[in-house]
Amino acid sequence: MSEYDPFAALGALQRNGVRFVVIGGFAGRLRGSPTITHDTDICYDRTADNSGGLAAALKELDAHLRGVEDDVPVLLDAKTLERGQNFTFDTSAGALDVLALPAGTGGFDELMANATVLDLGDGLAVPVAHIDDLIRMKRAAGRPKDRIELEVLAAVREEREALGLEGSG
């Protein structure tokens, strides 16, 4: 597995014109969570033109389905991405989870409506899910690690609200 580099993964997505929202642990980290993550999660717009850009970004990142034997042929093109829903990849930038419909959400349009574009430096500015949406996704996923992170994200939201940060997102 390659070294985890979320900035490289997000940069490839941005260079290929992919419409996405950062979700998951890295989004929580960008919102102020101290929890360390080892993958990058995005929710993507599942339209045909966006799926083409996503396929190009995945090729740039030398993506392979995680948990699938190397000799199993998988065609990573726009049609495959449109027909599928949630994919987990190993890439040259580490683990990348590409979700069309994250648990507890209506998908890209809903998450994008609440997201904030954050400047990560070096020309990389990406939409990041609102903390309330992150909490909703963690609650819906319900795994033990998500229940722990729910407490952390609730504390981060409380702290942001106390500081008067706009929209607590």
What would the pLDDT profile of 82-139 be if each residue is shown by its tens digit? Answer: 888 999 999 999 999 999 999 999 999 999 999 999 999 999 999 999 999 999 999 9
Note the pLDDT tens digit of each residue in 146-158. Answer: 889 999 999 999 9
State the pLDDT at residue 126.
98
State the pLDDT at residue 1.
61
16 φ, ψ to 5°?
Answer: -95, 10
- Radius of gyration from C-alpha coordinates of the chain: 16
Run of H or E residues at 50: helix 48-60
Question: Which among 61, 88, 63, 92 has a CA at the least distance from the CA of 75?
Answer: 63
146 φ, ψ to 5°?
Answer: -70, -35
Q: Which CATH architecture has domain 6-161?
A: 2-Layer Sandwich (3.30)
Instruction: pLDDT band for 145, please (50, 70, 90 cuts).
Output: confident
pTM for this predicted structure: 0.93
What are the boundaries of each domain within the chain?
6-161
pLDDT at 164 over 70: yes
State the pLDDT at residue 169.
59
